[in-house]
Each structure stands twice: as C-alpha cells, then as structure tokens.
Amino acid sequence: MTFSVSYDPATKIVSLLVFVAAVGAALASHIPAVAFILFFVICLTYAYSPRGYACEGPSITVKRLVGDVVIPLQGLREARAATKDDFRGCLRLWGSGGLFGYFGTFRTRKLGKSTWYVTNRRNAVVVVTDSRTALFSPDDVNGFLAAIGAFAPAVSPPPAAPYDMPRFAGAGRSIGLIVGVVVGAVALAFVVFCVLYSPGPPRYTLDFRSLEIHDLFYPVTVRAADVDLDRIRVVDFAVDTDWRPTARTNGFANSHYASGWFRVANGQTVRMYRAGVTRLVLLPPKAGGAPVLLDVNDPQRFVEDLRQLWSRP
C-alpha cells in the first residue's frame, strides 16, 4: 500500500522564506557561485525530502527523489500516532528542520534519538522497533497504522489519536498562514528594493577637516590628515585598469549602485561608492589605511576643490 504526504503550514512558510532569501542573496551578490551554491542546497534538500511511503512486506519504504529508504519492521514494539509529548525538548542533530519537511536525526525527551521522515507534524506517526525509532507523516494516519499492523499482527497499536491540537487549531493555522504571507511579502519587498536601489552618486559633507560620505549601508568619515593630498586624482576604469573592482568583500552591490569594501585588480581592498560610472575620485591614504573611490558629479572639479580646501593651514 502507498501513502501520500503533504506539507504543514510551518513547512510551507519556512520553504517559501528560504527560497525568497536565496533569490535575494543571489541577485544582490552578483556572484554566480553564490547563486549556484544556494540553489544547489535547496534542490538537494528537496531531493532528500519524503515524497510518500509504501508498506511492502514487513517494511516501510520512504519514497525520495534521491533514492528510497527501507525501514524493516522486524522487532516492532510500537506503532502509534504521535502526541505533543513526543516533540517536547526537540533537538535537531542533523537534517532539515522545516525546509521541505523535518527529516534527519532528532532527539526529544520522550523518544530519545530518532530518525524522522516527516513533512507534516500533525500527521506524525511513531514507529519503534528493536533497532530504531522512526517518525513518518502519512496523510492517512489510520490506514498507515492498519497497514503496519497487517504485517506485524503481534503488535496491537493503540487507536490513532490525532496530534494533540489546540482548541483553536484552525484559527492558529489561519494566523500562521497570514503571518507567513506577511513575512514573505516583506522579504520579497526587500529583495525588490535590493535589486532596484539606485540612489545616484552618494551625498557627502566636505569641510577643511574631513569628508563625510552619507551612504545608506556603509557611511564613512575620511579625515583630511589621513589622505595623501599629492596623490589624489581621478581614475578611469577604462584606462586605469588596476583600479577596476574584481570582488566584493563586504558591501552592497546591484547593477545600479555599489558601496562598501571591494577588492580591485591591483590586489588592494578599497572603500568604493559608485553609481554605475567608470570615472571616480581616488583618495589614497598616507599610511595604513584603505584607499577610497568616490563617485561625484564632476570628478576633476571635486579634486581641485578638495586639494584647495585641505591644503589650507
């Protein structure tokens, strides 16, 4: 006999949020390897998640895309519907704790160490044999227990009692779904913001002592005393290829704007504030600091004004 499975609300919410977060991280990073790793992990987790069960002979087969798992029923001591007490003090030792289900190795106060093949905790079934404790979650709990009993007639499992659900479980599920939708919408809005954020050249405040860059993510104050005035200049990525950014080490970047810490072609790590242009002002440090690459509307005029202002006694 075969038995289908379904996701509980928590699994749906966690899976949605993880997927949205992965899309956001992939789009914001602009690094193909990051996108590949994130989606590889998601696909691998899905491949290991239970797709259904089959009671074939004295065993339970867990259907998975990555390969089925067979759990023998020899030495069956107990088969029953799970209760709240079975999940108290739950600790995940290895596996998924909500992404496409709950599968792997877990420990609870009542069950001890156990192996889970669960997608819906409200349908959870506990099966205890001489060699292991395993949990499953068929949509048809009663039929699943009856099938196990047919292959192990010596065991008389107690009547299937549903998961000890709160009195207002229906309302709780509705609230959970609403919260999930709201959280998912907020996460999606954040992803859209990261993709479309385009503030233009960063605002700044300049006086004879310092340059303060007002960036949303990585604001910084550059002191005049720390900058080598003689080496301030305009760099053009088309000509000064050594200053082209090659990797983001700790910053924000999309196709419109970049700010934070970046590694450039000459091997240095710089602070860069760039709104899609190729000509930026280079502020080199005197010693021990990091160069700053700044996008301004008129780079050459900015360099002249800066030198004049910071050269005053």
The whole-angstrom separation of Cα 227 and Cα 289 is 9
Looking at residue 16, what is its pLDDT? 87
Contact yes or no for 232/283 (Cβ under 8 A): yes
Q: Which of 260, 280, 264 is closest to 219 using CA atoms?
A: 260
The whole-angstrom separation of Cα 122 and Cα 157 is 18
The whole-angstrom separation of Cα 243 and Cα 292 is 11
Looking at residue 161, what is its pLDDT? 47
Looking at residue 229, what is its pLDDT? 92
Looking at residue 185, what is its pLDDT? 65
Looking at residue 287, what is its pLDDT? 80
pLDDT in tens, 212-261: 999 988 999 999 999 999 999 999 999 999 999 999 888 888 888 999 99
- What pTM does this model have? 0.56
Looking at residue 156, what is its pLDDT? 46
Structure tokens at 244: 């082209």
Q: Which of 219, 269, 266 is closest to 240 using CA atoms?
A: 266
- Indicate the domain borders of the chain: 2-189, 203-310
Looking at residue 179, what is its pLDDT? 56
Looking at residue 62, what is its pLDDT? 95
The whole-angstrom separation of Cα 125 and Cα 117 is 10
**Which residue ranges in the chain fall short of pLDDT 70?**
27-31, 152-188, 313
The whole-angstrom separation of Cα 166 and Cα 133 is 26
The whole-angstrom separation of Cα 50 and Cα 71 is 13
Tell me phi and psi for residue 190, to 5 degrees: -65, -40
Cα diameter, the chain: 97
Q: 270: buried, middle or exposed (CB in 10 Å: 19+, 13-18, 0-12)?
A: buried
Looking at residue 113, what is its pLDDT? 94
Looking at residue 279, what is its pLDDT? 95
Residues 6+ apart with CB under 8 A from 44: 66
The whole-angstrom separation of Cα 247 and Cα 253 is 10
Parallel, antiparallel or unpaired: strands 279-283 and 292-294: antiparallel
Cα–chain center distance at 103: 18
Looking at residue 188, what is its pLDDT? 66
Task: Give CA torsion, residues 192, 197, 198, 199, to 10 deg.
Answer: 150
Looking at residue 219, what is its pLDDT? 93
